[in-house]
Amino acid sequence: MSRFDDLFDEIMWKARSAADAASQKTNEMVELSKLKYNIKQIQWDIEKAYSKLGAFVYEAKKRGDEDFADLINLAHGEIDLLGEKLEELEKQLLTCKKVSKCSTCNKENAKDAAFCQRCGAGIPEEKEETPPSA
């Protein structure tokens, strides 16, 4: 009966390993989907901010108000902030996808690639960020 128990244990271990791998892959896909959704939301917010900026300028010009620098600065700051958030989310997405982007042509390449697949430019090694030791 020991051989049967060993076989059963091995089957159960393989099934558990497969279930764990599927769960991990599902979690990765959910994380990627969330990041992509958040990126798209920030992009929409940036487009709305650009539209708002255009409306500010148009309305001020229409009224003959030439001093709308404060409104422009406010809209500019909002767009910059959204751009920073977008950049951070895009970095997180690249990390989740385990790729890096070519600084020359923006092609996504394998994380360990030394040269870009599209343009051949060298891709510098990304250094792991390590927290400072106390």
Q: Would you give the DSSP letter of residue 67?
A: -
- Residue 9 pLDDT exceeds 90: no
Total-model pTM:
0.65
Closest CA to 96 of 19, 18, 27, 22: 27
pLDDT attached to residue 133: 54
> pLDDT tens-digit profile of 10-28?
888 888 888 888 888 888 8
